[in-house]
Amino acid sequence: MNINEKLSTLKYNKDKESHLTVDNEICKQCNDRVCTHICPADVYEWSEETDSLIIRYENCLECGACKIACDKKNIKWRYPSCEHGVKFKNG
Ligand code: SF4
Ligand code: SF4
């Protein structure tokens, strides 16, 4: 089963507010932006146009890898509020 097939077994209930927040001023100074490479769900994308980090939190798999990988400790991470976030379709 490839990653896209695995992702298709999940469903998402979008929270009203992001459970992932960053200080964008710190992200502006970040050279490698590892969050944009490590996330299996492509949640993070750097926008040259707005000079800011786009965070598609509604796609988050809640694996926690980004929080560990950010060497600036700039990702404030919590679980989505009750009944929100990711679940298995058949779970
Ligand atoms: S790795 Fe951390 S500091 Fe760098 S862009 Fe991502 S969240 Fe911002
Ligand atoms: S917790 Fe995992 S899936 Fe969610 S944004 Fe971080 S790396 Fe991506």
Give the residue extent of every domain in the chain: 3-88
User: Is 74 a pocket residue for ligand 1 (Cβ < 6 Å)?
Assistant: yes
- pLDDT reported for residue 91: 62
Question: For domain 3-88, which CATH number applies: 3.40.50.720, 3.40.640.10, 3.40.190.170, 3.30.70.20?
Answer: 3.30.70.20
d(CA 31, CA 91) in angstroms, rounded, equals 40
Pocket test for ligand 2, best of 14, 36, 62 (most atoms within 8 A of CB): 62
Residue 85 near residue 62, CB atoms below 8 Å:
yes
Q: Say what the pTM is.
A: 0.90
| 23 phi, psi to nearest 5 deg | -90, 110
| 14 phi, psi to nearest 5 deg | -65, 130
Ligand 1 midpoint to CA 37 (Å): 11
Is 90's pLDDT higher than 90? Answer: no
Alpha helices (H) along 15-88: 24-28, 35-38, 65-69
User: Is 66 a pocket residue for ligand 2 (Cβ < 6 Å)?
Assistant: yes
Ligand nearest to the CA of 3: 2
Q: How far is CA 41 from the centre of its chain?
A: 7
